[in-house]
């Protein structure tokens, strides 16, 4: 069960990154080319939000079932160990912040009156969230916290 959830969390990261990238590219080209805000712009950021929501739920399961919350409660003891500090505090809080930006961004885009305004807000909120997500993934090249690019059951 634990492995299944971890594999899911690993794989879902690629869906989050795919739709995140599509959203940011759509926002950028829309803003630069001053084009109208289309159904496909809306769809890309909706899918980005949906996969962030699923990833948050799966992440919360891992967080509470793999003892990370207990480590947060005894943070003084773990803060000097990079991998423990990363998963107990940094990964969880940065990803939560990104998730909030995505949700606030959806509302902000909906409320913008003009197409240019929608693209601008989409670029700002989703762009920031995407950068935060990229920076908070335990990539294999980050020695102290490294995790594999792919994992299987």
Interaction site with ligand HEM (CB under 6 A): 6, 9-10, 13, 16, 52, 55-56, 59-60, 62-63, 66, 68, 87, 91-92, 95-96, 98, 133, 137-138, 147-148, 151
Q: What is the CA radius of gyration of the chain?
A: 17
Q: Which is nearer to ligand HEM, 47 or 137 (CB)?
A: 137
Q: Measured from the CB atom, is 10 or 42 closer to ligand HEM?
A: 10
Helix/strand/coil for 35: coil
CA–CA separation, 58 and 4 (whole Å): 10
| CB nearer ligand HEM, residue 13 or residue 31 | 13
Q: How far is the CB of 59 from ligand HEM (least distance, A)?
A: 3
Least gap, CB of 73 to ligand HEM (angstroms)? 14
**Residue nearest to ligand HEM as judged by C-beta position:** 59
Task: Report the alpha-carbon distance of residue 8 to residue 59 in Å, rounded.
Answer: 10
Q: Work out the end-to-end distance of the chain between its first and last CA atoms, rounded to an integer number of angstroms.
A: 10
Distance CA 88, CA 72 (A): 5
């Amino acid at each position: 069960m634990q492995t299944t959830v971890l594999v899911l969390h690993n794989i879902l990261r690629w869906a989050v990154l795919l739709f995140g990238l599509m959203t940011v590219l759509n926002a950028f080209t829309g803003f630069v080319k001053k084009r109208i805000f289309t159904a496909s712009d809306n769809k890309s950021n909706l899918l980005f939000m949906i996969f962030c929501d699923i990833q948050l739920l799966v992440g919360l399961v891992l967080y509470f079932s793999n003892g990370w919350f207990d480590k947060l409660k005894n943070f003084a003891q773990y803060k000097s160990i990079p991998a423990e500090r990363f998963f107990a505090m940094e990964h969880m809080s940065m990803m939560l912040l990104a998730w909030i930006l995505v949700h606030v961004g959806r509302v902000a885009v909906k409320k913008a009156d003009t197409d240019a305004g929608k693209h601008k807000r989409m670029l700002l909120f989703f762009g920031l969230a995407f950068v935060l997500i990229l920076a908070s993934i335990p990539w294999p090249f980050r020695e102290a916290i490294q995790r594999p690019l792919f994992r299987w059951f």
